Structure 1
Amino acid sequence: MKLINNLKIKPLFLYFPVVIILIAACKKEVLTNEQPDVDIHAVVINELLASNSNSTADANNEYDDWIELYNTTNTAVDLSGYYLSNDAENIQKWSFPEGTIIEANDYLMIWADKDLDQPGLHTSFKLTKSGATLFFSNVQETILDETTFTAQVSDVSWGRYENGTGPFIQMSPTYKSKNNGPVSNPNNKAIRQQ
Structure 2
Amino acid sequence: LADRFGPVDVLRANHHGSGHSTNQYYVDTLDPAASAISCGDNSFGHPGQAVLDRLLATGDVWVTNLCDTTRNYGSAVLVHGDIVLKSTDGLNFTINGTGYVATDPAGSGTVADIVINEFLARPSSGNPEWVELYNPTGVAIDLSGAWIDDSVGGGAPKQIPNGTSIPAGGYYVMEFNNFLNNGGDDVRLFLPDGTTLVDSYTYSSASTNQSWYRTPNGGAWSGSQTSTTTKGSANP
Map of 1:27-106 to 2, 5 A cutoff?
38-53=109-124, 62-89=126-153, 93-106=157-170
d(CA) in 2 for partners of 1:134 and 1:65?
A: 12
d(CA) in 2 for partners of 1:64 and 1:76?
A: 26
TM-score (norm 1): 0.59
Residue 204 of structure 2 aligns to which amino acid in structure 1?
A: T
Query: 1:39, CA displacement in angstroms?
Result: 4.6
Map of 1:112-191 to 2, 5 A cutoff?
112-113=176-177, 126-140=179-193, 141-169=195-223, 170-171=225-226, 172-180=228-236
Cα offsets for 1:93-152 (capped at 9, x unmatched)? 221111111111111111022xxxxxxxxxxx6111111001101134110000001111
TM-score (norm 2): 0.49
Query: 1:168, CA displacement in angstroms?
Result: 3.7
> Cα 1:91–1:102, aligned 2, differ >3 Å: closer, same or farther?
farther
Does structure 2 retain, via aligned residues, the 8 Å contact 1:84–1:92?
Answer: no
Query: 1:41, CA displacement in angstroms?
Result: 3.2
User: Which blocks of at least 5 consecutive residues in structure 2 are unaligned?
Assistant: 1-105
Aligned-residue CA RMSD (Å): 2.5
d(CA) in 1 for partners of 2:116 and 2:135?
A: 9
Cα offsets for 1:9-44 (capped at 9, x unmatched)? xxxxxxxxxxxxxxxxxxxxx98xxxxx64533211
Residue 180 of structure 2 aligns to which amino acid in structure 1?
A: L
> Cα 1:81–1:90, aligned 2, differ >3 Å: closer, same or farther?
farther
d(CA) in 1 for partners of 2:214 and 2:139?
A: 21
Does structure 2 retain, via aligned residues, the 8 Å contact 1:47–1:158?
Answer: yes
User: Which blocks of at least 5 consecutive residues in structure 1 are unaligned?
Assistant: 1-29, 32-36, 55-61, 114-124, 181-194
d(CA) in 2 for partners of 1:111 and 1:44?
A: 17
Does structure 2 retain, via aligned residues, the 8 Å contact 1:45–1:145?
Answer: yes
Query: 1:177, CA displacement in angstroms?
Result: 1.1
> Cα 1:168–1:39, aligned 2, differ >3 Å: closer, same or farther?
farther
Q: Secondary structure at the match of 2:220?
A: coil
Query: 1:90, CA displacement in angstroms?
Result: 7.6
Does structure 2 retain, via aligned residues, the 8 Å contact 1:83–1:92?
Answer: no
Query: 1:81, CA displacement in angstroms?
Result: 2.2
Give the percent of matched residue pairs that are identical in Structure 1 and Structure 2: 30
